[in-house]
Structure 1
Amino acid sequence: MSSLMTNTAAMTALQTLKATNDSLESTQNRISTGYRVADAKDNAAYWSIATTMRSDNGAMSAVKDSLGIGEATVDTAYTGLNSAKDVLNQIKDKLTTATQDGVDRTKVQDEITQLQQQLKSIASSASFSGQNWLSVNSDATGYDANKTMVANFARDNAGAVSLGSMTVDTSKIALYDSGTSSKAILNGGASGITSALGLTAGAATVSSTGTQATIALGSFGSSAKTVDQNDSLSFDLTLNGTTKTVTIDQATVNAALGETDGKIANATAFNTVLNHALESAGFDSTKVTAATGGIHTVGGATGDTLSIGNVAFSNDSVDTINISGPNITATKIKLFIKTVDDAISKVTAGASTLGAIQNRLSMQTTFVSNLMDTIDKGVGTLVDADMTQESTKLKALQTQQQLGVQALSIANSSTQTLLSLFK
C-alpha cells in the first residue's frame, strides 16, 4: 500500500543511514585516537584494567629512574674505592722502599703525606646527588650506614601495592669517618686497647705481699672494648728474672673468646684474654695469672718478683702513618706495611661488594625496562585499535553511507511518483 502519511521506505533508509553514520563515527574515532577502548563507555572492564596498568607503569618508570640514581651512586663509590686502592699500593711501595738502610725517610714521608692527602681528596669527592658513602660522620644526627635504594614496584592479587628495595651497608666501604668511634678503613682502628689494660707506654707498678707479687692494672670500665685489626699491645713481663714478651691483638682476643671482631665485653672476658696472652707467651698458669685487679704470681715463695716494662702499643691507621720520627725502625715500618695491606684488602673487598651490587642494579634495570614493555604490550592488546581492520571497515562504511543516502533519496522521491497518478 502506498501512503502519503507514512513513508516506511524512508524511515527504514533513515534508520539504516543513522546506524551507518554511528558506526562510521566510531571507526573514525578509533582511527584518530588509535584506541579501540578510549573511554570507559567503550568497554568498562578493559578501560579499568588499562588505566590501572598504565598507572603502575608510571610508577615503574619512577623505579627505573631511582635505579639509575642508585647505579650512579654505586658507580661513584666504586670509582673512589678503585682509585683509593691504587694510591694505597703506592704508599705500600714507598714504605717498602723506606725499610732499606740509607733511605732518607723524611723525603719518603713527604711523598706518603701527599698520598694520604690524595686519599682524603678521593673520599670527599666521591659524592653523587648529595650522597657520599666513602667520607661519613657516624656522629651526625640521623646517620644510618645502611643505604636503601628502590628496586621494584609490585601489586598483589588484592590490589595492594608494595615497593622492593636494595640495601648497601656503607660501614664496610667507608674510607673516612669523622665520628668519635671511627671504624672506617683509612682512619679507623683507634679503639681503646690501651685503656682496656690500664697501661701507658713505660708504666710499671710492682707490689709484693707475702708470697704474692702483683702488677696492678687499671679498671676495665663498664663498657665493652674492641681490639681492631690494626690494634696491638705488647709488654715485657719479668718473673723472678725471666723476661717474656706478652702480645695482645685482635687474633689473641678472638682465640681467647671465640669472637670474630675482637670485642671484649667486660672485665671477666678481659682476664680471659690476658691469661690466654700470658700462656701464649710461655708463662705457666700455675705460676702467674691475671685476675681482678692485675697480674699475680701464684703459689710462689716470699720475695718472688714480678715486673713489667717496654710497654708498646699500636692503633695505627693509614691516616696516621709517619716514618719521619727518630724512633722509627724497620720493624715499625713493616707494621705500617701490614696496616696498609690490611686497608688494601678491605678496599678490595668493598669494591668487590659494590661490583656485585652494580651487576644486580644493571640486571634489575633491564628487567624493569622489559617488564614495562611487556605491560605496554598487554595494555595495547586490550585497548589498541587494529588499524588495518579499521581502515577496511572505514571504506566499507563510507560505501554504505553513500548507498544509504541514495536509498533515502529514492524513498523520499516515492511520494512525488504518486502525484503522477492524479494528473
Structure 2
Amino acid sequence: MTALTTLKGINQQLDMTSNRVSTGQRVSSASDNAAYWSIATAVRTDNASLSAVKDSLGLGSSAVDTAYNGLNSILTDLQNMRAKLQTAMQPGVDRAKVQTEIDAIQNKMSSTAASSVSSGQNWLSVNSADASYLKDRNVVAGFSRDSSGTVNFSYVTVNVSNIKLYDANSSTSVDVPATSAQVFATQSLTSMAAFRPAGAAAVKGTADFSGAQTIDLLIKTETATAGVAITLNKAALTAAVKDTAKVTTSELIDALNNQIASTALKGEVTASLDSTGRLTFTRVDTGAGNTVAVDSVTTNTVDIGFGSGVKAGVVAKGADATTTSGRGILDSQAGSYTAGGAYSIADFDISTLVGTNGDADLSAIITAVDKAIAKVTDAGTKLGASKTQIDGQSSFVDTLMKANNRTIGTLVDADIEEESTKLKALQTQQQLAVQALSIANSGSQNVLSLFR
C-alpha cells in the first residue's frame, strides 16, 4: 500500500509538472492559484483593449499624416499663386495669361484636397450638411478603469472645422471680424540683396549701413494722405544697432518702429515680419475706411521689398466686420470686387481687373491670399501638434503593454529550466516507484507459496 500511495503521489506531481512544461505556465487555470489567475486575466483583458487603442492610434496617425501632406502641398500652391499675383502687379503684364496659370493652381489645390482621404475620412474637403459630418474627430488614445470597474476612454481631438479647406455646404454663416489694412514686401528680408543671402557666414542675413546706404520710404494712410517720411541710414542707426555694418532683421524692424513712433503715425502703423519673413506694415485700426500704402522715393537706395528709387506702392484697405458663409479656408468669401461680386481664394478672376480700381482689387486679392497662407500654416501647425500627441501616446501604449506582459509573466509563467529538471527527477522517481511496487507484489507471491 505504501508503494502504491507513493506512486500515485509521484504521478500527480508528474502530471502537474508536465502541464507546466507544455504550457509554460505555473498558473494556467483558476484551480492553480485563484488570486493570481484573476489578476492575470484582468491584465490580459487590459492588454487586448490597449492593442485596440494602439490600432486606433495608428489609423488616427495615418489620417493626420494624409491631411498634413495635403495641407503642405496646398501651402506650396498658395505660395506659387502669391508669386503669380505679384507678377500681375507689374505694368504691362497680361493678366489674362497669369489668370490661366492661377486657374491651373486652383484646380490642383481642389484636386489635392479632394484626394486627401484616409480610411474613408477626408478632413480637407468636406460637406458639413452631410449627416455623417463631425466637426471634431476623436482618436481613441487610451483607457482607464476606476475602482468601480467603469472603463473611461481618453481621446486626441482634431477639430476639422478649423482645418477644412473646402466645404460644399454654403447654408451656414459665421461672423467675420473687421480686419486691418496691411501691405507686404515682395519677398522675405533675408532673401533681399541688401541682406546678403549669399554672403559669408559672418555677414549673411545682415545689411550694411556703414556707408551711404539709405532706406527712404513714404508711408501713407487715410489720415496722412501726403505721406510720412521714414528714413534709415548710418546716422539714424548708429545709436539703435550694435554694428551698422551688420544690421539684423530684428534690429531693422525695431528701428522702423522707433522712426514711426516719432512721427504723426505713432499708434497708427506698425512694422513687423510675417510668417514668411516679409516686411509688413499694418494699420492698427480695423475697418474698410482704413488704408495704408508704402512708396519708395528718389533717395531710397536699399530695396527691402518695396523697391528702390521712385516707386508707388499699392494702397491696402481694411475690411468691416461682416457675416459670410461658414465654408472652408479657401472657398469662403475673401472679399468683393470694386465693380461688384464676391470672390474666394478658390475662385477669383484677375483677367478683367484694369485701371486704378483693378490694381486696388488685385492688391486686396494678394492680401487675401496672404491671409489664407497664414491660416493654412496655422492649420498645419495644429495637425503637427496632433501628430506629435498621437505618436507620443502610441509609444506610451506600447510601453504599457510590455509592462503588462511582464506583470502577467511574473504571476503565471513557469520557470522552464526548473520545471524541466523537476520533470526529469519525477520521471526517475516514477520508474523507481514502479519497480518498488513490482518488488512488493512479488514478495507477497513468495509468502503465499509457503502455504502451498
Q: TM-score when scaled to structure 1?
A: 0.67
Equivalent position amino acid for 1:339 in 2: A
Residue 403 of structure 1 corresponds to which residue in structure 2? 432
**Aligned 8 A contact 1:134 1:173 in 2:** yes
1:143 equivalent in structure 2? 133
Q: Distance in 2 between matches of 1:421 and 1:277?
A: 128
Residue 363, structure 1, aligned to residue 426, structure 2? no
- 1:300 is matched with which residue? none
Q: Distance in 1 between matches of 2:290 and 2:6?
A: 107
Partner of 1:51: 41
**1:106–1:323 Cα contact (<8 Å) kept:** yes
Please list the CA deviations of residues 258-303 of structure 1 after superposition, one character each: whole Å capped at 9, or x if unmatched: xxxxxxxxxxxxxxxxxx969979xxxxxxxxxxxxxxxxxxxxxx
Aligned partner letter, 2:396: F
- 1:352 maps to a residue whose letter is T
Deviation at 1:388, TM superposition (A): 0.6
Is 2:353–2:361's contact at 8 Å kept on the other side of the alignment?
A: no
* Maintained 8 Å contact 1:67/1:365: yes
Distance 1:89 1:367 in 2: 38
The residue that corresponds to 2:347 in the other structure is 320
Give the match's secondary structure for 2:158.
strand
1:156 shift after superposition: 2.0
What's the % identity of the aligned pairs? 49
- The structure with the greater share of residues assigned to helix is 1
Pair 95,406 (structure 1): closer, same or farther in 2 beyond 3 Å: same
Cα distance in 2 for residues equivalent to 1:367 and 1:278 = 51
Question: Cα gap change, 1:420/1:315 in structure 2, threshold over 3 Å: closer, same or farther?
Answer: same
Aligned to 2:81: 91
For 1:174-194, what per-residue CA distance to the aligned partner results, in whole angstroms no more than 9, with x for missing partners? 1111111578xxxxxxx7xxx
Distance between the aligned counterparts of 1:182 and 1:227, measured in 2?
A: 16
The verdict on how the C-alpha distance between 1:78 and 1:375 changes in structure 2, with shifts beyond 3 A counting, is same
- Aligned counterpart for 1:111 among listed residues 98, 101, 104: 101
TM-score, normalisation: structure 2:
0.63
Q: Is the 8 A contact 2:47 2:404 kept in 1?
A: yes
- Cα deviation, 1:286-342, whole Å, max 9, x if unaligned, reads xxxxxxxxxxxxxxxxxxxxxxxx987785421132110144633322211111111
Amino acid at match of 1:351: G
Judge which range, 316-325 or 27-36, deviates more: 316-325
Partner of 1:284: none
User: CA offset at residue 20 of structure 1?
Assistant: 0.2
| CA distance 1:277–1:420, shift in 2 (3 Å) | closer
Alignment of 1:204-353 (within 5 A): 226-227=176-177, 316-327=343-354, 329-353=358-382
- CA distance in structure 2 between the aligned counterparts of 1:68 and 1:384, rounded to whole angstroms: 31
CA contact (8 A) 1:150 1:164 kept: yes
Q: Does the 8 Å contact 2:136/2:157 carry over to 1?
A: yes
Please give the alpha-carbon distance, in whole angstroms, between the structure 1 residues aligned to 2:36 and 2:128: 53
Q: Give the superposition deviation at 1:380.
A: 1.3
- Give 5+ residue unaligned stretches, structure 1: 1-10, 184-190, 192-224, 233-243, 246-275, 282-309
d(CA) in 2 for partners of 1:369, 1:277: 53
Q: Which residue of 2 aligns with 1:121?
A: 111
Secondary structure of 1:167's counterpart equals strand
Q: In the superposition, relative to structure 1, how do residues 229 and 176 fare at CA in structure 2: closer, same or farther (>3 Å)?
A: farther
Letter in 2 for 1:154: S
* CA–CA separation in structure 2 for the residues paired with 1:311 and 1:106: 18
Contact 1:230-1:314 at 8 Å conserved across structures: no
Correspondence for 1:387 among 388, 408, 416: 416
Which residue does 2:157 correspond to in 1? 167
Partner of 1:75: 65
Q: 1:168 to 1:277 in 2, by over 3 A?
A: closer
Residue 316 to residue 229, structure 1, CA distance change in 2 (3 Å):
farther
Q: Whole-Å Cα distance in 2 between the matches of residues 125 and 231 of structure 1?
A: 35
Measure, in 2, the Cα distance between the counterparts of 1:416 and 1:350. 96
1:22/1:82 Cα in 2 relative to 1: closer, same or farther (>3 Å)?
A: same
Structure 1 residue 377, shift from structure 2 partner: 1.2
Distance 1:226 1:359 in 2: 31
Q: Which residue of 2 aligns with 1:206?
A: none
| CA–CA separation in structure 2 for the residues paired with 1:111 and 1:375 | 58
User: Aligned-pair RMSD on alpha carbons?
Assistant: 2.9
Match of 2:6 in 1: 16
User: Between Structure 1 and Structure 2, whose CA radius of gyration is higher?
Assistant: 1
Q: Deviations over 1:74-122 (max 9, x none)?
A: 0000001000000001100100000001111100000001101111001
Give the conservation status (yes or no) of the 8 Å contact 1:152–1:368: yes
What one-letter code is carried by the residue in structure 1 that aligns with 2:433?
A: G
What's the counterpart of residue 203 of structure 1?
none
Tell me the amino acid that sits aligned with residue 322 of structure 1: D
Q: Match of 1:138, SS?
A: coil
Instruction: Give the distance between the partners of 1:353 and 1:408, measured in 2 at CA.
Output: 80
Match of 1:27 in 2: 17
- Aligned pairs, number: 306
Contact 1:231/1:314 (<8 A) preserved: no
Question: Are the counterparts in 2 of residues 231 and 313 from structure 1 also a CA contact under 8 Å?
Answer: no
- Structure 2 residue aligned with 1:158: 148
2:443 aligned partner: 414
Q: Which amino acid aligns with 1:91?
A: M
For the structure 1 residues 62 and 331, does the alpha-carbon distance in structure 2 shift closer, same or farther, using more than 3 Å as the test? Answer: same
Residue-by-residue CA offset, 1:226-265 (whole Å, 9 max, x unaligned): 4465999xxxxxxxxxxx89xxxxxxxxxxxxxxxxxxxx
